[in-house]
Amino acid sequence: MTRLLDPLFRTDAMRDIFSDQARLQGMLDFEAALGRTQARLGVIPKAAAPAIEAQCQAILFDVEALARAAMLSGNPAIPMVKALTALVAKRDTKAAGYVHWGATSQDAMDTGLVLQLRNAIDSIDADLARLALALARLAKKHQRAPMAGRTWLQQALPITVGLKAAGALSAVQRHRARLRELRERVLVIQFGGAAGTLASLGERGLDIAKALAAALKLGLPDISWHSHRDRIAEVATTLGLLVGTLGKIARDVSLLMQTEVGEAFEPAAPGRGGSSTLPHKRNPVGCAVVLAAATKVPALVSVMLAAIVQEHERGLGNWHAEWETLPEICLLSAGALGQVTQIIEGLEIDTARMRRNLDATHGLILAEAVSAALAPKLGREAAHELIEAACRRAVERGEPLRDVLANDAQVGKHLSAADLDRLFNPVNYLGVAEQFVDRVLATRSVRKK
C-alpha cells in the first residue's frame, strides 16, 4: 500500500497493471474505442474520433487534480471525462462535444477495469504455468524420496516428496481451469449509459455496443451489468481459492524449515532471511509473505461478496468498496504466487534429514505396516490392538518398535526377522504414491497441449 512495504508483498508486474496510470489508461482505452466505433458507424462525426483518441493517453492527465475532483464527484471517471473533454477542446472544439458520447461514468470505469483484469488474469496464468512446471520437476525429481507424512502435526506414515509436490500441482491445475472458465463471464464490456438502457443512443445502442466490444476484443454481455457484480467478484473468489493453496504450500515449507525438522528450505540468497540480532537465523521470508496474503485475502474476498448487494441500477458505497479491493486481491495474489514460485524453484531438500526424521519415532511410524501385515492373520481389530500395545511398550521402554515386536511371541508366529526388516523400511510402505504422482503429471501433459 505504501512504497516502503509494497515491494515485499506485491510484484512489479501486477503493480504496473493496477497503477493509477493503468486505471486511467483503461478508462481512456474505453473512451478512444467508443469514439472510433461511433465515428465508424456514423453516430458522431468522422473527424471527432482521431481528435479524441489523440488525447486518450494517461500521461496527459494530472492524477492529483483528478483525485481532488473525485472527492466532489464521488468517482474518478467524471473528472477524467471533463479533463479529456478539455484536452480535446484545446485542439478541436467540435470533437470535444462527442467525448464519452452516450456512456456513463461506470461504463468507462467497469470496462477499464475489465481491461486491467484481462492483463491480471493473463499474468497470473503465466505465473501459474511457471509454478506448475517447477512443481512438476520437483515431483519428478523426488518422486520416490521418502519423508514423513504428517497428520494433525504428528508423524503418521511415510509419503514421498513427489506426492507432496504432486498434490500441490494438482491444485494448481484446478486453479488454471477455473481461470479459463471465468474469462467468458468476466472479459466483457460494460456499456449501458446512465441507467443501463443506452437510451441516449436511441436505436443504435446495440450496434455500437457490438462494435465497441469487438474493438476492445472483449465479449458483448447479454445485458449491462452495472449493479450485478458476480462477474468481477468471481475473479476475487477464484484468486481466493488460489491464495489458499499458496498459503498451504507456504505453511508446509515453513513447518519443514523448523529448526527441529530441517527437511526443506527456502532458497538462500545473500542477506535474505537474516535477523537484526541473531547471526545464525535463516527466516522463511518468502513463506511469511505468502502466509500474510493467505491471512488477508479471504477477508478481502468477503468484501467483494458483500459488495454484490448493490442498490437498483447503481450501488451506493458497495460499488465504491470494490475499487481498491479487487486490485488489492490481484496484487496480493500475484505477490504470493511469485514468492511460492521462487520457493519451489529453489527449494533445498535435505533427503538425509528426511530419512533420519523417519526414524524419530523408532519405528512407530511404520506401525500400520506391521498392523496391515498381521491383519489378514489376526483380523484387523486384533492386529490393531496388538500393535497399539506394542507401541505403548516401545514408548515406555524407549525401545525401537521393531525390537519390541521381534521379542513378541505372537508376532513371531507370523513374521520373521526378515519380514520385520522389510516392513520397517519406509520405501516398502509407500502404497500407490508413485502412481498418484504419475497421474497428476499425466493430467498436466494433457492439459498443456
Q: Which of 376, 373, 397, 396 is nearest to 387 (CA)?
A: 373
Binds a copy of itself by CB under 8 A, chosen from 250, 334, 340, 344: 250
Instruction: Tell me, residue by residue from 129 to 168, as one string, x for binding to a copy of itself by CB under 8 A and - for no binding.
Output: -------------------xxxxxxxxxxxxx--x--xxx
Report the distance separating Cα 76 and Cα 247, nearest Å: 34
As given in the structure block, the three cell numbers for residue 251 are 505453511
Q: Residues 302 to 321: which contact a copy of itself by CB under 8 A?
A: 302-303, 305-314, 316-321
- Of 119-127, 271-279, 402-410, 412-420, the window that binds a copy of itself (rule: CB under 8 A) is 271-279
Please say which residue, 54 or 321, places its beta carbon nearer to a copy of itself: 321
Q: Residues 62 to 121: which contact a copy of itself by CB under 8 A?
A: 63-64, 66-74, 76-78, 81, 85, 93-94, 96-105
Report the distance separating Cα 148 and Cα 154, nearest Å: 9
Q: Residues 175 to 214: which contact a copy of itself by CB under 8 A?
A: 175, 177-178, 181, 185, 193-203, 205-206
Please say which residue, 90 or 280, places its beta carbon nearer to a copy of itself: 280
> From the CB of 378, what's the least distance to a copy of itself, in Å?
8
CB 67 within 8 A of CB 61: no
> From the CB of 410, what's the least distance to a copy of itself, in Å?
15
59 binds a copy of itself (CB under 8 A): no
> From the CB of 412, what's the least distance to a copy of itself, in Å?
19
Angle made by CA atoms 420, 262, 349, in degrees to the nearest 5: 85
314 is catalytic: yes
As given in the structure block, the three cell numbers for residue 386 are 496388538
251 is catalytic: no
440 binds a copy of itself (CB under 8 A): yes
Q: Where are the alpha helices (DSSP H) in 142-276?
A: 161-186, 205-215, 230-256
Torsions phi, psi of 114, nearest 5? -60, -40
Torsions phi, psi of 150, nearest 5? -130, 130
How many CA atoms lie within 13 Å of 138's alpha carbon, on the beta-carbon side? 26
Report the distance separating Cα 342 and Cα 253, nearest Å: 12
Q: Residues 337 to 366: which contact a copy of itself by CB under 8 A?
A: 357, 360-361, 364-365
- Of 122-130, 211-219, 295-303, 408-416, the window that binds a copy of itself (rule: CB under 8 A) is 295-303
Per-residue CA distances from 364 to 119, 144, 156, 402, 427 (Å): 51, 21, 9, 9, 15
51 binds a copy of itself (CB under 8 A): no
